[in-house]
Amino acid sequence: MQATQILKQAVMEQPERAGTIYRDRRRSWREIGERVPRMAAALQRLGVKPGDCVSALSMNSDRYFELFFSIPWSGGAFAPLNVRWSVAENRFALRDCGARVMFVDDAFVEQARELQAGSDLQLIYMGEEATPAGMLSFEQLIDEHAPVPDADRKNEDLYIVLYTSGTTLQSKGVALSHRNVVYVSVCFLATLPHRDDLTHMHVGGMFHLSGAGPAWYITLAGGSHVILPKFDPVPVMAAIAEHKITNVVLVPTMINMLMNEPRLADYDLSSVRTCVYGGSPMPEPIMKAAMRDLPTWGFHQIYGMTETAGYATALRWRDHLEAVAHFPERMKSAGRAVTGMQVRIARPDDAEADVRETGEIQIRGDNVMTRYFNNPEASVAVLKDGWMHSGDAGFIDEHGFLYVADRIKDMIVSGGENVYSVDVERALYQHPAVREAAVIGIPSERWGEAVHAVVVLKDGQSAEAEELIAHCRTLIGGYKCPRSVEFRSEPLPTTPVGKIRKNVLRDPYWVGHNRKI
C-alpha cells in the first residue's frame, strides 16, 4: 500500500505511452518517472523530512500532476490549497499543515507572496513565464538534482491532507494515508467496465478528489492524462475530439452546461466511454438528455466525500440502463456499496435503520480517512466504532440501492414535516424552463421554516413563480412545494467542484435568527 508504486507500475508497463498532455507539452511515463525522483531530491535539499507537508496553489497542469508522486517520493505529504479560497483561508490551511514549501503558478503569484509575508515559506514557481524574483524554478530544480531513492512511505503513513471547503464552519484537513489512496484506486478500477487504453481528461481542480482521484487510478491503469486548467464547455469538447478522450469526471452542473451548449453537435465526443459524475444528485431531465445526446457515454454516478477518499457507492452504467427499462426509481439512487466498502443507515442512537427508513449514512472501509489533521475533537465526532458518520441523510432499499436525501443540516423542517430539498429540486428541474434550481429553508413565523426556491431559467425561457409552484404540486406533496420562488439571471454560486453553495443562498435570510437545525 504505497502511493508511489502507482507511478512505478505505469513506468514499468507503459514507458513510452503519453503520461501527461498539457497544452503543447507531452511527456511519456518514462520521462515522468525520471523527473519525479529529481524533484524529490530537491525537496529533501530544501529540508522536507518524512511526514512534512508540502503545499501547492495552482491551476491544473502537468507539473501539478507530478506533485502527487514527487512529494511522497521525498517522504513528504501533499497539502494542496483551494484556488477559490481567500488569502485568510489559505493562510489558515498553511499554518494548520505546517508547510514550509509551496508550489505556485502564474495565476497565484501575488497571493503566494501575501502568504509568504512574515514566514519562512519557500516558493517554487511552476508556471509558464520567467521565474519571479525570490522564487525557485520548478524545471531548474529538476535539472540540478540527481534522482534519489523512494523514501518508502507506505500503509498508514500520511500521504495527503485535503482541506474541506469550509462553507459553513472552519475548514478541516482530511488526512488520507497511502493505504487510503491505493485502496480507493483499486476499488475505482474494479468498478469501471473498461480498464485498458484509458485517456482521461482532467477538468476538476487537482486540489480536490475530483482531480486527485483520477490522477491515482488512471495512472494505476497506465493510462494518459489530458490536463485542462479548468472546466469550460468549448475547450472541453475540443479536447475530447482532439485527444480521443475515453474517461471524464464531471459534476451535474458541468453536464448541464454541456447539454445547454449551442455548439454541442459541432464536436465528435463519441470516444468517451465512461463519465463519472457525483457531487450532487443528477436531475432526471438532464440525465435523460445526456443519455440521448451522448449515446456512447457510459454514465457512472458515485457517492462519497473527502473523508472517504471520494468513494463509497456507485450507480453503474448498467444500473442506469436497467433503471430506464424496468426500475425508474433507481435513477434517483446513488447505487450500491462498492466492493470493499460498507454502507449503512443509522438512527440517531446509531442503531441500524430498517429498509427504506431515512437516517444518517455511515461508511466503513480502508478508504475512510485516518483522522482530521490537528483536530482530534472533530475526528472523534465522526469516526465512531469504525464507522464514518457522513452527516448525509438517506435510505437503502430492499435491493441495496442507496438514496441520498440531503445533508442532515440542509433538511427543512416546515410545519413539523421534514422536507428534503433534493425532492423539490428534482420536481423543479422537470419544468422545461428551469436551468438551475436550489431549494433552501427560510424563516417563517407560521411554519418555522418555509420552503424557498432559487431558480435560474434557460435562455429565452420564461416562467412565473405561481407556475413553478403549481408544476411542483403535480409531482410532490403540497407540504414540500415552494412557498416562494426567487429568480436569478446569473448562475448559482458553486464550490470548486460544482456543488451549489446553499449556505450562500440561505444565510442572508437567517441574519438575526437562531436556527434550530
Q: Digits of tens for pLDDT over the chain (517 positions)? A: 999 999 999 999 999 999 999 999 999 999 999 999 999 999 999 999 999 999 999 999 999 999 999 999 999 999 999 998 888 889 999 999 999 999 999 999 999 999 999 999 999 999 999 999 999 999 999 999 999 999 999 999 999 999 986 444 468 999 999 999 999 999 999 988 878 899 999 999 999 999 999 999 999 999 999 999 989 999 999 999 999 999 999 988 789 889 989 999 999 999 999 999 986 557 778 888 898 999 999 999 999 999 999 999 999 999 999 988 899 888 889 999 998 899 999 988 899 999 998 899 999 999 999 999 999 999 999 999 889 999 888 999 999 999 987 667 677 878 767 687 887 998 999 999 999 999 999 988 778 889 999 999 999 999 999 999 999 999 887 888 999 999 999 999 987 667 788 889 998 998 877 544 4
Whole-number Å distance between alpha carbons of 408 and 390: 9
- Alpha carbon distance 434, 457 (integer Å): 5
Assess whether 380 and 455 both reside in one domain: no
Q: Which of 54, 495, 154, 491 is nearest to 305 (CA)?
A: 495
Query: Distance (Å, rounded) from C-alpha 19 to C-alpha 34?
Result: 12
Residues 493 and 359 in one domain: no
How many structural domains comprise the chain?
Answer: 3
222 occurs within a structural domain: no
What single-letter amino acid sits at 73? W
In angstroms, the CA 40 to CA 20 distance is: 19
Distance separating alpha carbons of residues 245 and 201, to the nearest angstrom = 6
Assess contact for 239 and 245: CB atoms under 8 A: yes
Whether 201 contacts 231, CB under 8 Å? no
| Domain co-membership, 399 together with 420 | no
Is 198 part of any domain? no
Q: Cβ(424)–Cβ(357) under 8 Å?
A: no
Element (H, E) at 204: none
3 state SS of 449: strand
Cα distance between residue 374 and residue 228, in whole Å: 33
441 and 420 in a single domain? The answer is: yes
Same domain, 440 and 389: no
Which residues contact residue 269 at a Cβ distance below 8 angstroms, ignoring those fewer than 6 apart? 237, 240, 241, 294, 296, 297
CATH of the domain at 400: 2.30.38.10
The verdict on residue 100 lying in a domain is: yes
Same domain, 24 and 113: yes
- Picking from 305, 266, 252, the residue whose alpha carbon sits closest to that of residue 437 is 252
**The CA-based dihedral angle spanning residues 233, 239, 242, 247, taken in that order and rounded to the nearest 10 degrees:** -110
Report d(CA 90, CA 332) in Å as an integer: 36
Q: Which domain holds residue 145?
A: 3-179
- Residue 380 to residue 388: CA distance in whole angstroms: 10
The three cell numbers of residue 148 are 534519489
| Among 144, 159, 179, residue at a domain's last position | 179
Region at 115 (left for phi over 0; alpha for psi -120 to 50; beta for the rest): alpha
Three-state secondary structure string covering 226-281: EECCCCCHHHHHHHHHHHCCCEEEECHHHHHHHHCCCCHHHCCCCCCCEEEECCCC
Angle subtended by helix axes 209-220 and 62-74, to nearest 10:
80
CATH label of the domain that carries residue 162: 3.40.50.12780
Whether residues 155 and 31 share a domain: the answer is yes
Counting other chains too, the contacts that 160-163 makes at CB distance below 8 Å and 24 or more residues apart are: 160/77, 160/78, 160/79, 160/80, 160/212, 161/53, 161/77, 161/78, 161/79, 161/97, 161/373, 162/80, 162/207, 162/208, 162/209, 162/212, 162/306, 163/79, 163/81, 163/82, 163/93, 163/96
Pick from 179, 212, 247: which residue ends a domain? 179
Residue 306 lies in a domain: no
Euclidean distance between the first and final Cα of the chain, in Å? 41
Task: Classify 224 as helix, strand or coil.
Answer: strand
In single-letter form, the type of residue at position 112 comes to A
- Does residue 210 fall inside a structural domain? no
* Integer CA distances (angstroms), 394 to 257, 337, 417, in order: 27, 14, 16
Q: Are 93 and 138 in contact (CB under 8 A)?
A: no
Cell 534519489 belongs to residue? 148
CA torsion through residues 42, 11, 14, 54, sign: negative
Task: Report the alpha-carbon distance of residue 211 to residue 305 in Å, rounded.
Answer: 13
362 sits in the region (left: phi over 0; alpha: psi -120 to 50; else beta) called: beta
Question: Are 24 and 170 contained in the same domain?
Answer: yes
Q: Is the dihedral of CA 276, 390, 288, 252 positive or negative?
A: negative
pLDDT for 1: 92
431 and 402 assigned to the same domain: no
Map residue 310 onto helix, strand or coil.
coil
Q: Phi, psi (5° rounding) for residue 159?
A: -110, -45
Is there a single domain that holds both residue 22 and residue 166? yes
The DSSP result for 16-81, as a single string, is TSEEEEETTEEEEHHHHHHHHHHHHHHHHHTT--TT-EEEEE----HHHHHHHHHHHHHT-EEEEP
The answer to the question of residue 28 being in a domain is yes
Asked, for residue 369, whether it belongs to a domain, the answer is yes
Between the CA of residue 511 and those of 90, 443, 504, 514, what are the distances in Å? Answer: 26, 10, 12, 8
- Region for residue 208 given its phi and psi (left: phi exceeds 0; alpha: psi -120 to 50; beta: otherwise): beta
Same domain, 36 and 162: yes
Q: Examine the domain organization and report whether 119 and 15 are in the same domain.
A: yes
* Domain-ending residue, one of 153, 179, 205: 179
**Residue 197 within any structural domain of the chain:** no
Query: Residue 499 belongs to a domain with what CATH number?
Result: 3.30.300.30
